[in-house]
Amino acid sequence: MYHQTVISDSKTTLLSASDLGRRHPGDDGWLFHDIDIDLQAGDRLALVGPTGSGKSLILRALALLDPVDSGEVLWRGHRVADAEVPTYRSQVTYLQQRSPLVPGTVEDNLRVPFDLQVRSKLPFPRDEALHLLDTFGAGDDFLAKKEANLSGGERQIVGLLRAFLAQPTVLLLDEPTASLDRDSAASVEELILAWQADAAEHRTYLWVSHDPEQVARVADRTLKLARGRLEEGA
Amino acid sequence: MSQSASYLELSYLQVGLATLLILFNGALSVALRLGLGKRLLVASLRTTVQLLLVGLVLQQVFSLRHWAPVLALAFAMVVIAGIAAVRRTTHRYPGIWVDTTLSILVSSWVIAGLALGAILRVEPWYLPQYAIPLLGMILGNTLTGISLGLERFTDTLTRGRDQVELLLSLGGSRWEAALPAIREAARTGMIPILNSMTVVGIVSLPGMMTGQLLAGVSPVQAVKYQIVIMFLIASATALGTVGAVLFSYLRLFTRRHQFQFEALRDTL
C-alpha cells in the first residue's frame, strides 16, 4: 500500500518541524539534521531506521524535551513559548520505551497527570479509567494492584492508559512494544490502535518501530531515517 | 590581661608533653604492627603545622584591629569551604563551583552579619575575636549541609531521570518535575545539624562551649552562647543548602522545561 502525502484542506496541521537538527555534543557532527515533519490531525505515521539513527532523539526533540541546534517545532503553526511548553506537552505526549511507574498502586500511577498544574481543573476520571481497563478484561481490583507486582506488559499498559486518560492529541511512541513478549505486544498495539480509531479524525501518532510487519499494520505513512536524515517511503 | 587569671596559659613545653602521648601511640602501633605509625605521624604533623599557621594568621588579624584583614580572611575561609563542599560531591555540572561558593558566601555572611550586628551587637562589628570563630563554626556546618544537599539532589535526578522526564512529558513544569528531588535534598542537608541539635549536651559538650568553660566563662553564659550558635548554624545551613540546590535546579532545568541530564558528570 502506498500513500501519497496529500495535504487536503479538511486536515489541520498539528505539529510541524522544518530543518530540525541537533549536533553531537563536543564535535561538529549531527545527531540528526534536515528533519522536516508534518503531522496532521488523524495521521498514523511511523518512523523507522536502524538502531542509533536518532529516532528517539527526534521524538524527544518534537516533545521539546531536548534542545535543538537548528530548526523549530511548530504547534498549529506557532512557535511554543517557554511558558506554554507544559501545555504543549499535555497535547503532544512523548512515551518512553518502557513507561516508568511511580511507587504505589496502578491508580496512583493513573492519577499522576492529574496532580500537575497543567490539569489542575480536571478531576481524575475514575469511570473512564475503569472503562479503559474493561476493554482488556481488567477490573476494579487492577486499580488497587501494586506497581511492583505488575508484569512488563502490564506496566506498559498502565503507562499507556495514564497517557490516554490525560487526553493528548498527539502521541510520540518510542518503540512501545519493543521490550514485550508477543501477547503483551499484541495487546499494547491493539490498545493504541483503538485509542486512535476512537477519534480517528483528531488523534494522531508518530510511532517509532523497527518491525516492518508492525509498521504495515499501524501506519498509513512511513518516514525512514538513515544517518540522521529523513526519507519518505511507502 | 585581666582574664589571664581565669585560665591557665600553655607553654610549648606543655604542648610537648602532649606530643609524648602521640609518640606512645606510635610505639604501640609499631609493637602491634598496626601499620598506623606513618599515618599517625603525618596526621600529627599536619595538626601541628596547620594550627600553628592559622595561629600566626589569626594573631596578625587580631592585632591589626582593622575591618579589611578580617573581611579578607572571611572571604578566604568561604572560598576554601566552597572547594571542600564541591570536592565531596560525586556528580558535578558546569557552574557547580560558582553555585556552591556563592550560596556559602551569602548564607554564612548574612547569618554571621546578623549575629554580630543584631544579636551579639559587637562593637565594632568586625571585632575578630567574635567574627572569625563565629564564621568558622557557621562555615564548617554549612559546607556539610550544602555538599550533602547537592549530592542528594544530583543523585536523585540521575537515578530518577525517567521519573523526572515522565513528569515533564505529561505536562509537568520544570518545578513540578524537580520538586521531589529538591525536597529530598533540603531534608538531607539539614539532617546533621538537626541530629546535633537533638543530642547536644546529652552525648557530648560542643566544642565552643567546652572552650568557653576552659577559659573560665560561667556555665550559664557558655550555654547561652551555645544556643545562639546552634541556631545560627541551623539557619545558615538551611539558607545555604536551599540556596545551593535552587541554583543547581536553575542550571539543570531550562526555561523551556527541559532537564539537562547531559550536564551532569560523574567524578567517580
* Contact residues, chain B, for A99 at CB < 8 Å: 166
Comparing C-alpha atoms, which of A180, A171, A176, A155 is closest to residue A101?
A155
Can the peptide bond before residue A86 be classed as cis, meaning omega within 30 degrees of 0? Answer: no
Question: Is the pLDDT score of B3 beyond 70?
Answer: no
Which of B162, B164, B170 should one mutate to test binding to chain A, selecting the residue with the greatest count of A CBs within 10 A?
A: B170
B250 lies within 8 A of chain A by CB: no
At A68-113, the pLDDT tens digits run 999 999 999 999 999 999 999 999 999 999 889 999 999 999 999 9
pTM value? 0.87
Across the interface, which of A25, A82, A89 has its CB nearest the CB of B170?
Answer: A89
Write b or e for each residue in B17-45: b if 16 or more Cβ atoms lie within 10 A of its Cβ, otherwise e. Answer: eeeeeeeeebeebeeeeeeeeeebeeeee
Per-residue CA distances from B191 to B37, B81, B146, B246 (Å): 35, 19, 11, 18
Q: In what order do the strands lie in the sheet with A44-48?
A: A92-95, A170-174, A204-208, A44-48, A221-226, A229-233
Estimate the share of chain A in helix, then strand, then coil, as percent rounded to the nearest 5: 35, 25, 35
Distance between CA atoms of B33 and B36, rounded to whole angstroms? 8
Percent of chain A whose pLDDT exceeds 90:
71
Write b or e for each residue in A113-131: b if 16 or more Cβ atoms lie within 10 A of its Cβ, otherwise e. Answer: bbebebbeeeebeeeebee
Interface of B with A in 151-180 (CB under 8 A): 162-163, 165-173, 176
At B191-236, the pLDDT tens digits run 999 999 999 888 888 888 999 999 999 999 999 999 999 999 999 9
Distance between CA atoms of B146 and B137, rounded to whole angstroms? 14
Is B258 close to A65, i.e. CB distance below 8 A?
Answer: yes
- pLDDT bin (cut points 50, 70, 90) of residue A6 is very low
At B94-116, the pLDDT tens digits run 999 999 999 999 999 999 999 99
Distance from CA of B172 to the nearest CA of A (A): 6
Distance between CA atoms of A159 and A106, rounded to whole angstroms? 10
At B157-197, the pLDDT tens digits run 999 999 999 999 999 999 999 999 999 999 999 999 999 99
Is A112 close to B176, i.e. CB distance below 8 A?
Answer: no
At B32-50, the pLDDT tens digits run 988 888 889 999 999 999 9
Fill in the amino acid letter for A101: L
Is A112 close to B165, i.e. CB distance below 8 A?
Answer: no
Distance from CA of A1 to the nearest CA of B (A): 33
Per-residue CA distances from B3 to B132, B208, B217 (Å): 20, 18, 10
DSSP string, B181-192: HHHHHHHHHHHH
**pLDDT reported for residue B268:** 65
Distance between CA atoms of B131 and B136, rounded to whole angstroms? 9
Distance between CA atoms of A157 and A129, rounded to whole angstroms? 12
- Mean pLDDT over B114-141 rounds to 93
ipTM for the predicted complex comes to: 0.92
